[in-house]
Structure 1
């Protein structure tokens, strides 16, 4: 047994939808005759082995058999949007070195790990959760790439080669992680189970595609090798095509997206017990905003956005405020309150879906356990940004149409 595992102790246009079982690893068996997919799986195993071998080598040089854990942090410990004074400080230089020290040999970073206080030590895990080393969950990897790229112009000359190498290595890691059909799993190298689903949950898919678009187009990534930037552009476009195919059609009408889609069929699939196959509002809003940012939207993109906007308008709850207390959550009428959308909607009647931690479906949020009422965002307002951006997007389309007459 690898010592790393011991630490666990311490394509149609749209996808058809079905009531899915939790994702198993059997989907990979359907691809035994697909060379591109087999190369992908082989590369995933090689990178996982690379990470494990590095840790095993360090442990072999130390008087210990089980790796130690780094400091846990809800995010990463470093400021994500500092001002120029910070970028010029000695503290920024120190943190940059700490961040680089936590980059796995495969090229990514982990979540819920303090990457500001102390550099990673030999024999230490690269993250606090062994099954998420490395991962894209909770903004991991994309956050570190963007942070280091933002710091790079302020870094001392002698630091820049190492930083550039770390950034380019991480970009290659992201490109390798993308499925041949354009999707991204929650965690790479692949870990199995629902982690292998094409993941929109917590904005994994949109964050990574936005990152690839920045690598391909923005001046801050001009130092990246031209071939890598071209590859980022191609794979960004592949990911956009995947999102268009994954948009769920119910009763003949395009709606929005699920939190997790099957890697092959693109059906909505289950993640944790309380995350059943369902339409999702917040992640679908992020997908829609991403599509609205495309400079020359195709007919398919326009149809996708229009369908999503219509769905958001239909589902929005106005003049209602959600109030939390130690007794649970209640809703009160309040004129002008921020619009709300349920996080999940069932795939039958498209009504709000509430599921307790044990997987029990209940008819309202009030019937959930207090822990689930307070500990999960069952109603959110992310879709409001889509409705605010929509008039400007429509005006842009009209201008572009007039310009081509």
Structure 2
């Protein structure tokens, strides 16, 4: 008897292999004549996704289940760090065959055979909400404390995870939200929720930090090259408005780099905090790289021009608003590309100019105002004045 999961797998397999021929069920790829490097990328993604699905399907059959067991949800993985071998074992158990981890999943207890790798099957695995990069960081930090027997397994898991991150990078240097690809907006080059930033940060750490010294030198060198490929993408895709470079949008088309929308409440717009994190990364590590100095200067000027002074965000049961606070500074999360004014979106896909105009659910459930850019500007001003 065919398990229910076989049908679930087919639905989830947005990128599947039929009779040896890949079919790409995503708007970004349909009708595109792709260079060989991109064709190979999509074929590898499809094969990895099928591998993950087949492994879970095999476990479901072995355990005589009709469907996979549900994985418990947790917004922060159920841990803040790995503190003992038992926790390390639990985190390792949630690594997918492809090499990554899922988001919003409690990883404090070991995954059981036949259980989903994540609480949300469409994000298995992903880089969204810090998934995969967080687990790799935890494992590297815990490695010196691990038992000798466990160290070999951690090294193997780290290598598989780093290889997945390298495989996930598009040929042009950007990173999708999830990999293997899931289709739709997930395949966009994603700055939202710091996907691009955390991916680049991990690549830099793998290439340079001592805590990743257990990895093969060739792999660390590959991570270094991948980091600079991502830098090149950022420099090329910094949004230009009326001849002036600004920052970036939350999502960019994987092939053309043009801004694209994601969910209905994530329409095309320039982003403040995610851009600021990437600028901070560039400032700290590659300020002398060709093109970075000009990029930093333009973005810093844009952020200064669009800061909201003497205001602080306040949220309660009645909604979200800005209140007077002398000396405080915030930024809207999103800015209209052409006008530069703050914009807000709701589940109806419409654009609003005042946060009070969107639904209470969205006012309370999304970070419409941010202050992260202040950290970049302070660091940029300090370095610029030295």
Shorter-chain TM-score above 0.5:
yes
In the alignment, the residues of structure 1 paired with residue 7 and residue 303 of structure 2 have an alpha-carbon distance, to the nearest angstrom, of 43
CA separation of 1:33/1:248 partners in 2, compared to 1, >3 Å: closer, same or farther?
closer
CA separation of 1:272/1:148 partners in 2, compared to 1, >3 Å: closer, same or farther?
same
Equivalent of 1:148 in 132, 139, 147: 139
Cα deviation 1:268-321 (Å, max 9, x = unaligned): 100000111110101111111011012452341001000010011101111112
In the alignment, the residues of structure 2 paired with residue 45 and residue 8 of structure 1 have an alpha-carbon distance, to the nearest angstrom, of 12
Cα deviation 1:352-392 (Å, max 9, x = unaligned): 00112211222311111111112111111010001110123
CA contact (8 A) 1:137 1:187 kept: yes
Shift of 1:395: 4.3
SS in 2 for 1:25: coil
Q: Which runs of 5+ in 2 are unaligned?
A: 12-24
Q: Is the counterpart of residue 127 in structure 1 residue 127 in structure 2?
A: no
CA contact (8 A) 1:4 1:130 kept: no
CA contact (8 A) 1:197 1:262 kept: yes
CA contact (8 A) 1:7 1:67 kept: no
CA separation of 1:71/1:229 partners in 2, compared to 1, >3 Å: closer, same or farther?
same
Which segment is superposed worse, 286-295 or 42-51?
Answer: 286-295
In the alignment, the residues of structure 2 paired with residue 219 and residue 208 of structure 1 have an alpha-carbon distance, to the nearest angstrom, of 18
Q: Is the counterpart of residue 303 in structure 1 residue 294 in structure 2?
A: yes
In the alignment, the residues of structure 2 paired with residue 193 and residue 220 of structure 1 have an alpha-carbon distance, to the nearest angstrom, of 36
CA contact (8 A) 2:28 2:184 kept: no
Q: Is the counterpart of residue 352 in structure 1 residue 342 in structure 2?
A: yes
Q: Is the counterpart of residue 45 in structure 1 residue 46 in structure 2?
A: yes
CA separation of 1:4/1:235 partners in 2, compared to 1, >3 Å: closer, same or farther?
farther
In the alignment, the residues of structure 1 paired with residue 43 and residue 116 of structure 2 have an alpha-carbon distance, to the nearest angstrom, of 23
Q: Pairwise mapping of residues 196-345 of structure 1 onto structure 2 (< 5 A)?
A: 196-295=187-286, 297-337=288-328, 339-345=329-335
Aligned to 2:105: 113
Shift of 1:63: 1.7
Cα deviation 1:65-118 (Å, max 9, x = unaligned): 2111111111201123x7xxxx4xxxx1110000000000000000011001x2
Divergent runs of 4+, >3 A: 29-33
Shift of 1:8: 11
RMSD: 1.8
Equivalent of 1:381 in 371, 375, 378: 371
In the alignment, the residues of structure 2 paired with residue 318 and residue 115 of structure 1 have an alpha-carbon distance, to the nearest angstrom, of 41
Equivalent of 1:98 in 61, 79, 90: 90
Cα deviation 1:230-281 (Å, max 9, x = unaligned): 1001011100100111100011110010000011111110000011111010
In the alignment, the residues of structure 1 paired with residue 293 and residue 347 of structure 2 have an alpha-carbon distance, to the nearest angstrom, of 38
Which segment is superposed worse, 328-337 or 138-147?
Answer: 328-337
CA contact (8 A) 2:287 2:293 kept: no
Aligned to 1:6: 8
Q: Is the counterpart of residue 372 in structure 1 residue 374 in structure 2?
A: no
Shift of 1:343: 0.6
For normalisation by structure 1, the TM-score amounts to: 0.88
Cα deviation 1:157-216 (Å, max 9, x = unaligned): 111111111111111111111101101000000011100000000000010111011101
Q: Which runs of 5+ in 1 are unaligned?
A: 10-23, 397-405
Shift of 1:30: 5.6
In the alignment, the residues of structure 2 paired with residue 251 and residue 271 of structure 1 have an alpha-carbon distance, to the nearest angstrom, of 25
SS in 2 for 1:123: coil
CA contact (8 A) 1:7 1:130 kept: no
Aligned to 1:65: 66
For normalisation by structure 2, the TM-score amounts to: 0.92
Q: Which is bigger in relative contact order (C-alpha 8 A, separation at least 6)?
A: 1
